Structure 1
Amino acid sequence: MPLVIRPRTDADLPALGAVLVEQQAASGYPHREPLPMSPEDFVAREGTLATWTALLDDEPVGHIAVLPVLDPAVSREPDLSRLWMAGHGLPAERLAEIGVYFTATRVRGQGIGAALMRTALDHVAALGLAPCLDVIPTGSAVELYRRTGWREVGSTRPAWLEADAPDVVAMVLPAAS
């Protein structure tokens, strides 16, 4: 059965929570162990602009979300907001964060993550927003983002970051010229 990417439903949450936990050892994401909430609550963030589930054979195997970037005055992570705003030269309300992005370990290398990212980026563009993300610089994620056009705009140490983790890298995807 072909890959299907569709809006996430609440019925997807148990399977996506299991996928999140399963892939954590290989990817290092999320960067907190144990999570301060259930895996399902981690996936089902409040305030998202949009969320999608990737399915193979009707089984959830990946997820991505688009979240608003809040003005630093009200953001729980004001330094990230400031870095993204400076990186794009835009106010927070013109930005969107790509997050809660993961795929099952067993489907890596099949283009599922890339398809999820395309879906999210298309949505961000349709909203007239500029994309941002943050990443812990472990493994190959930063290099993958660089190869696909993302640009580093700084690093910061969010309150949720564990003491032994490196600073979070803030990245933006410049508009195509």
Structure 2
Amino acid sequence: MDIRPRTPADLPACVEALAAVQAADRYPVNWPADPGAWLTPDGMTTAWIATEPDAAPGQAVLGHVAITRDLELTRLFVTPAARGRGVAARLLETARASTPLPLKLEVSSEGRAAIGLYERLGWRRVGSSRATWLNAAGEPALLHHYVSP
């Protein structure tokens, strides 16, 4: 698999990949009115995608991650078909290598697989809080806050 910076031509394939993730996992919990904008949050500085080797811009995306200017890792996902291949770990490694400073992230307590991955890779939970958005049960989501190793 290849990891490379996301280009504008990749956005439709990223939205398609996100739709597969949302159908399987309800991430994001509520489908955004503009998924391309959701994948490009305010303050985003860089986003990377995972693709099959030598895939052209706009071809199938296996996974995605972004970083904001306040060093928050966000919009990390891997398509159901690509899971178990180390895609998320490679995306996290790429994001971490982009800055010498620690990264932070938030993950819903419902994201048990993601939490397991972060903790296996050495991310440290530094707190928890309630979100302003509702989880699948219709309650304010419990967010766990992590810092990179």
Same fold, judged at TM 0.5 (above): yes
Residue 28 of structure 1, CA deviation: 3.3
Give the total of aligned pairs: 141
Instruction: Give the distance between the partners of 1:124 and 1:29, measured in 2 at CA.
Output: 27
More helix by percentage: 1
Match of 2:128 among 144, 149, 155: 155
Structure 1 contact 50–66 (Cα < 8 Å) conserved: yes
Task: Report the counterpart of residue 148 of structure 2 in structure 1.
Answer: 173
Instruction: Give the distance between the partners of 2:24 and 2:99, measured in 1 at CA.
Output: 28
4+ runs of 1 displaced by more than 4 Å?
Answer: none
Task: Report the counterpart of residue 69 of structure 2 in structure 1.
Answer: 68
Query: Alignment identity in percent?
Result: 35
* TM-score, normalisation: structure 2: 0.85
Residue 38 of structure 1, CA deviation: 1.6
* TM-score, normalisation: structure 1: 0.73
Residue type of the alignment partner of 2:39: V
Task: Report the counterpart of residue 134 of structure 1 in structure 2.
Answer: 106
Q: Deviations over 1:102-129 (max 9, x none)?
A: 111100001111111110010022xxx2
Higher mean C-alpha displacement, 132-141 vs 156-165: 156-165
Task: Tell me how large the CA RMSD over aligned residues is.
Answer: 1.7
More strand by percentage: 2
Structure 2 gaps, min length 5? none
Match of 1:49 among 45, 48, 58: 45
Instruction: Give the distance between the partners of 1:23 and 1:147, measured in 2 at CA.
Output: 22
Q: Which has the larger radius of gyration?
A: 1
